[in-house]
Chains A and B, each alone.
Chain A
Amino acid sequence: MPPVDTVRTIETPEGIELHLRPAGPVARFWAFFVDQAVVWMGLMFAGIALAFLGPLGLGLWFILVFLAQWLYPVFFEVLGGGRTLGKRWLNLRVLRTDGRPIGWGPSLIRNLLRVVDGLPGAYTVGLVSILLTRDFQRIGDIVAGTLVVHEEAGAQAPVLPAAEPLAPALALTLEEQSAILAFAERSAGLTASRSEELADVLGPLTGSRGAGGVRAVLGMARYLWGGR
């Protein structure tokens, strides 16, 4: 069953499926905003510093403006693993649609086509395109064959809460087992009352409610994970 989510699945030559999570307009706007802020602040300070050099400084500043306006994202995307500063801030990354890192050609295309995405002002074309495409691609992304994805933040192995292993009274299907494990892995981030509320759903299985129910479900997770 395909996931009910904005997930793009790519199949690799090894025959496995990898999931990419395309980033929506809001995250991308903030990344863009951070980039613009950084670039214009940088240009401003560089301008002040270069003003002391007279015409020479002005010439250098023109070159900086050119680089900032057109090539800043290209250099960062290609040399920085698909991430400008704003994208790094928001844990976004540009990839090709097949999941590979982006190269000079596609990066140049997707960034120059900001000219088209920017029409008729305030990135209207780009926004409409992002909203209409399944993978949130603006025109430049479509043409260059790229997409912007969320990067899963540092995948640390969650530690299952300690509990007395407890064999479930019924034979559980794989999906049910998976759900119990997911509950245990997430339980550290849930409040006690929310944990209890969720564990109460399994009341018929655990035979208890409240804190006792939570303990029982965690025990089952422990059992499913490592046996007795």
Chain B
Amino acid sequence: MRQQRFEQENRPLWEDLRGWLDERATLGAEEVPSAYRRLCHHLSVARERQYSPALVERLQQLALRLHQRIYGERGEGVPAALRFLWGELPRQVRAEWRLVAVSSLLFFGPWIAAFLVVRAQPNLVHLMLSPGEAAKYVQMYDPKTPVAGAMGATRDVMMFGFYILNNIGIDFQTFASGLLAGIGPLFFLPFNGLHGGTVMAHLTNQGLTATFYGFISGHSSFELMGAVLSGAGGLRMGFALMHPGRRSRLAALREGARQGSRLLFGAIALTFLAACFEGFWSANTLVPWKVKVGVGILFWILLASWFVLAGRRHE
């Protein structure tokens, strides 16, 4: 068959398919699959008969667009994201509990150690913090310093923005550098843990219990577990690279990144939640600090029970 006749006979079909792609459908949804298969046939025929390159290219572009539309995923909207957070994330955390435990140990181990050491030997604070930094932290939590909440709502928004930029950025960095055989989390987690523990002990030594614990307790659960999850996600990637098991190293790495990124989605959600509390609740001076610590503990319990209990129905 001559190319001209081939084009003439089949052009209506191609136009219909193009119209379906461009949202001016002349073709019912149920007719698309069979029309697409006929297009695929036309493409093969056109290639086999060596019709002109421009025609082949046009058909192959159309087939590619349709392939993408037909085999692409449905949009993952807000309901899917909520479903993920509610059910799949806790399942993922339980499935990866070893990595989460390692990540927690890397983070909280140095934290507790630094806290105990600096509590016992207050001068050792200077191993981690320069005198200027130490003084800055003390000044930040000094009851005489006006705290953020006292400066009104606009100040709260500023701090909220800063926490988003800084904290989620750190999560991302920790996760991504996990690809380097896990070196990122292995460094960032203990370092941040040491830093946190030192600051906590130093401020306790200075007797700033009320302002400090009142401030951090509310958001501590979300923020610290967010850091732990991003570390676990990074370790997942690094571990897959180091120990691919029965897969090729590349396939293992891809799978590791897929699993790890799910933990990272959880980390983002938790850190975002933490920033909300840190910006708009933690700096609040109207609530007595003991109540705020109580609320913080309650959040820890809620978070733990979510990790342990949520999403069990489909397992």
Chain A interfacial positions (CB closer than 8 Å to B): 12-16, 18-20, 53-56, 58-63, 65-66, 69-70, 95, 99-101, 103-105, 108-109, 112-116, 139, 142-145, 152, 155, 157-158, 174-175, 177-178, 181-182, 184-185, 224-227
Contact = CB atoms under 8 A, between A and B. Distances in A.
Nearest to B177: A115
Given A112-B176, A224-B3, A225-B3, A56 B52 contact: no
B165 A62 contact: yes
Contacts of A99: 64, 67-68, 71
Contacts, number: 157
A101 B68 contact: yes
B179 A139 contact: yes
Nearest to B1: A227
- Residue of A19, A112, A227 contacting most chain B CB atoms (<10 Å): A112
Interface string B180-205: 10000000000000000000000000
B177 A225 contact: no
28 contacts: A16-B44, A18-B67, A55-B151, A55-B155, A55-B157, A56-B157, A58-B158, A58-B161, A59-B154, A60-B161, A63-B165, A99-B64, A99-B68, A100-B72, A100-B73, A112-B176, A114-B176, A115-B172, A116-B177, A143-B253, A143-B254, A155-B61, A157-B58, A174-B50, A182-B54, A225-B4, A225-B52, A226-B2
A3 to B, nearest CB: 12
B261 A12 contact: no
B297 interface: no
A78 B257 CA distance: 18
- Residue of A95, A103, A104, A152 contacting most chain B CB atoms (<10 Å): A104
B93 interface: no
Contact of B76 (A66, A103, A145, A174): A103
A175 B56 CA distance: 14
Interface residues of B, number: 61
Contacts of B177: 115-116
Interface stretch (B35-43, B137-145, B288-296, B307-315): B35-43
B82 interface: no
Nearest to B64: A18
A105 B88 CA distance: 14
Contacts of A58: 158, 161
Contacts of B173: 115
A113 B256 CA distance: 14
A105 to B, nearest CB: 5
Given A19-B60, A108-B261, A112-B172, A227 B179 contact: no
B168 interface: yes
Nearest to A115: B176
Nearest to A69: B169
Given A16-B43, A18-B63, A155-B62, 4 more contacts: A59-B156, A100-B73, A174-B50, A227-B4
B153 to A, nearest CB: 8
Given A14-B36, A99-B64, A226-B3, A59 B72 contact: no
Interface of B: 2-5, 36-37, 40, 43-44, 49-55, 57-58, 60-64, 67-68, 71-73, 76, 151, 153-162, 164-165, 168-169, 172-173, 175-177, 179-180, 237, 250, 253-254, 257-258, 261-262, 264-265
Contacts of B160: 59, 63
- Residue of B52, B175, B179 contacting most chain A CB atoms (<10 Å): B52
- Residue of B2, B37, B63, B64 contacting most chain A CB atoms (<10 Å): B64
B283 to A, nearest CB: 13
A99 B73 CA distance: 12
Contacts of B161: 58-63, 66
Contact of A182 (B52, B162, B175, B179): B52
Contact of B53 (A65, A113, A174, A185): A185
B252 to A, nearest CB: 11
Nearest to B36: A14
A182 B51 CA distance: 9
A116 to B, nearest CB: 5
